[in-house]
C-alpha cells in the first residue's frame, strides 16, 4: 500500500462529510437574523445575538474536543456530535420563541464546534506527511465551498418557500453529513487516558506548540472580519450596489482556487513560499479596498483578499500541525480554530468601534499595515524555529 497516497476512501469521505456539515453552518449566518426580525418579531439585539451565542458556544466547546476524544474515543465523539448537530437543526421546526431559538443556537454551536474539530483532525491525520499541505488545502477548500453556497441557498429558500423549508433542508443536509461520517474508517489516536482520569488541565485542551501560528491567524481573522462584516455597507455607501452583490462570490471563488495549488507549493517549497505572498496580497487587497472608487476596485480587492486568506488559513494550520506532537492533532486543530473564531468575533466588535473614528475607507487603509505587521511576526517566528541549537 502506498503510504503517500492522499485520495484514499477515508480521506475522500472526510472531505464530503465536512462539506455537507458546513452548508447548514454558513446557511444560518445570514438567514437566522432575518428570521428573528421578520418571523419572530424579535429585537435588533436578539437578531445580533442569534449568531453571537453560536460563536460563544463554538469557542467554549471546540477546545474540549480532544478531552472528549480521550474519554470516549474519536469515532464516538465524531458520531455523537454529528448526530446532535443534525438534531439541533430539527429543533428549529418545533419553536417560534426567540429565547428558545437562542438556546438552540448555543446547543448547535457546541455540537458544530466538536464535530468540525473532529473532522478536521481526522482529515489532517489521513493526509500523508509529505503531502500534508496539499491535504489540508483540500480540507479547507471544501469548507470554503460550503461557506460559499450555504448563504445563497438559504436566502433563496427563505425568499421562495419560507423559513420552514430552510430548516428542513438544513436538517436533511446535516443528516447526509452524519451518514457519510458513519462510513469513515476512523483510526483512534494513541491518546493518553490519564488526561481524562486526572481531571481538567489547560494543556489538555490547547497545544502550546500551535499557539504561535494560531495567534497569527487570529490577527489575520481580525482583518478578515472587517471585510466580512462591513464591506457590503461600505460598497452601498459608495453606491456600488452591483459590486456588493458579487464581492463575496469573487472572494469565495478565489479562495477556493488558491487552495487548489498552494498546498502543493507548501509541500514542495515550504511554508515561506505560501505565507509571505499570502500576507502581502491580503495587505494589498485591503489597501485597494480602502481606496475603492469603482466596482473594478472592489472586485480586485475581493480577488486578492480571497486568494490571500484562502492560502494563509491552511498554510498556518499546516505549520501548527507540523510543529506539534503527532498525537496532539485534535488539540492542535481545536487550538487553531478557536483562535480563528476569536479573531472573527472580536474583530467584528473592534473594527465596528473604530469605524466611528476612521470611516470605512480609513478602516481598510489602516488594516493594510496591520496585516503587514503579521509578516514581521511570522519572520521572527520562522527565524526562531530555524535557529540551530547551541552546542552542548
Phi, psi of 57 (to 5 degrees): -60, -40
| Polymer length in residues for the chain | 392
Minimum mean pLDDT range among 6-10, 70-74, 187-191: 187-191
Same domain, 212 and 309: yes
Shared domain check, 61 and 142: yes
Q: What is the pLDDT of residues 325-342, one digit of tens each?
A: 877 777 787 788 888 888
Return the HEC string of 101-167.
HHHHHHHHHHHHHHHHHHHHHHHHHHCCHHHHHHHHHHHHHHHHHHHHHHHHHHHHHHHHHCHHHHH
User: Does 171 lie in the same domain as 215?
Assistant: no
Is residue 227 in a domain? yes
Report the alpha-carbon distance of residue 250 to residue 303 in Å, rounded: 6
Say yes or no: 2 and 151 in one domain.
yes
Q: Do 101 and 242 belong to one domain?
A: no
pLDDT beyond 70 at 211: yes
pLDDT band at 179 (very low <50, low <70, confident <90, very high): very high
Q: Is residue 389 part of a domain?
A: no
| Claim to verify: residue 160 and residue 214 sit in the same structural domain | no
- Name the average pLDDT for the chain: 84
Q: Is the pLDDT of residue 202 over 70?
A: no
Domain-embedded: residue 390: no
Average pLDDT of span 260-283:
89
Can you give the pLDDT at residue 192?
44
Asked if the model's pLDDT at residue 392 lies above 50, the reply is no
* Domain membership flag for residue 82: yes
User: How far is residue 8's CA from residue 83's CA, in Å, rounded to a whole number?
Assistant: 24
Helix, strand and coil percent figures for the chain, each rounded to 5: 85, 0, 15
Does 119 lie in the same domain as 42?
yes
CA diameter of the chain: 72
pLDDT tens readout for residues 286-296: 999 999 989 99
pLDDT higher than 90, residue 168:
yes
- Compute how many other C-beta atoms are within 10 angstroms of the C-beta atom of residue 127: 25
Residue 221 domain flag:
yes
Q: Tell me the residue range of the domain where 377 lies.
A: 206-384
Both 86 and 224 in a single domain? no
Task: Let me know if residue 196 belongs to a domain.
Answer: no
Best CA proximity match to 322, nearest among 70, 137, 124: 124
Q: Is residue 374 part of a domain?
A: yes
CATH code, domain carrying 363:
1.20.1250.20
What is the per-residue DSSP string for 271-323? SHHHHHHHHHHHHHHHHHHHT--SHHHHHHHHHHHHHHHHHHHHHHHHHHHHT
Q: How far apart are CA 278 and CA 76, in angstroms?
A: 37
Is residue 389 pLDDT above 50, yes or no?
A: no
pLDDT in tens, 251-268: 888 988 887 788 888 888
Predicted confidence (pLDDT) at residue 117 exceeds the cutoff of 80: yes
Q: Is residue 11 part of a domain?
A: yes
Contact criterion met (CB below 8 Å) for 278 and 265:
no
pLDDT number for residue 390:
32
Q: Which residue's entry shows cell 464581492?
A: 247
Same domain, 117 and 235: no
**C-alpha distances out from residue 355 to 219, 243, 370, 388, Å:** 18, 21, 16, 45
Threshold 0.75, pTM exceeds? no
CA separation, residue 229 to residues 173, 225, 278, 351, 378 (Å): 26, 6, 21, 9, 26
The reply to whether 119 and 229 lie within a common domain is no
**Does 220 lie in the same domain as 95?**
no
Domain count, the chain: 2
Q: How far apart are CA 211 and CA 215, in angstroms?
A: 6
Q: In this structure, are 282 and 170 located in the same domain?
A: no
Amino acid at each position: 500500500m502506498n503510504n503517500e497516497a492522499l485520495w484514499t476512501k477515508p480521506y475522500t469521505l472526510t472531505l464530503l462529510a465536512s462539506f455537507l456539515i458546513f452548508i447548514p453552518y454558513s446557511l444560518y449566518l445570514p438567514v437566522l437574523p432575518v428570521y428573528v426580525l421578520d418571523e419572530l418579531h424579535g429585537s435588533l439585539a436578539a437578531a445580533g445575538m442569534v449568531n453571537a451565542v453560536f460563536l460563544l458556544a463554538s469557542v467554549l466547546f471546540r477546545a474540549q474536543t480532544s478531552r472528549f476524544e480521550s474519554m470516549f474515543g474519536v469515532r464516538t465523539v465524531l458520531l455523537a456530535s454529528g448526530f446532535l448537530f443534525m438534531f439541533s437543526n430539527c429543533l428549529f421546526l418545533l419553536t417560534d420563541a426567540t429565547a428558545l431559538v437562542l438556546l438552540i443556537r448555543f446547543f448547535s454551536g457546541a455540537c458544530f464546534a466538536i464535530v468540525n474539530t473532529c473532522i478536521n483532525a481526522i482529515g489532517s491525520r489521513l493526509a500523508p506527511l509529505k503531502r500534508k499541505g496539499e491535504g489540508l488545502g483540500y480540507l479547507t477548500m471544501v469548507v470554503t465551498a460550503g461557506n460559499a453556497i450555504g448563504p445563497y441557498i438559504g436566502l433563496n429558500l427563505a425568499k421562495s418557500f419560507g423559513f420552514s423549508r430552510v430548516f428542513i433542508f438544513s436538517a436533511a443536509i446535516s443528516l447526509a453529513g452524519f451518514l457519510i461520517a458513519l462510513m469513515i474508517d476512523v483510526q483512534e489516536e494513541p491518546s493518553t487516558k490519564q488526561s481524562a482520569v486526572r481531571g481538567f488541565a489547560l494543556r489538555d485542551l490547547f497545544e502550546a506548540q500551535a499557539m504561535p501560528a494560531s495567534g497569527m491567524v487570529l490577527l489575520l481573522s481580525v482583518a478578515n472580519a472587517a471585510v466580512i462584516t462591513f464591506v457590503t455597507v461600505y460598497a452601498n455607501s459608495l453606491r456600488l450596489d452591483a459590486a456588493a452583490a458579487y464581492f463575496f462570490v469573487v472572494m469565495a471563488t478565489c479562495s477556493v482556487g488558491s487552495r487548489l495549488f498552494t498546498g502543493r507549493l507548501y509541500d514542495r517549497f515550504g511554508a515561506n513560499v505560501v505565507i509571505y505572498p499570502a500576507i502581502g496580497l491580503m495587505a494589498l487587497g485591503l489597501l485597494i479596498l480602502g481606496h475603492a472608487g469603482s466596482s473594478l476596485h472592489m472586485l480586485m480587492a475581493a480577488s486578492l483578499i480571497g486568494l490571500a486568506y484562502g492560502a494563509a488559513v491552511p498554510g498556518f494550520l499546516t505549520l501548527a500541525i507540523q510543529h506539534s506532537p503527532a498525537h496532539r492533532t485534535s488539540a492542535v486543530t481545536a487550538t487553531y480554530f478557536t483562535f480563528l473564531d476569536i479573531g472573527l468575533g472580536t474583530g467584528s466588535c473592534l473594527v465596528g468601534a473604530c469605524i466611528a473614528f476612521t470611516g470605512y475607507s480609513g478602516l481598510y487603509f489602516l488594516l493594510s499595515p496591520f496585516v503587514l505587521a503579521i509578516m514581521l511576526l511570522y519572520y521572527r517566528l520562522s527565524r526562531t524555529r530555524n535557529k540551530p541549537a547551541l552546542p552542548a
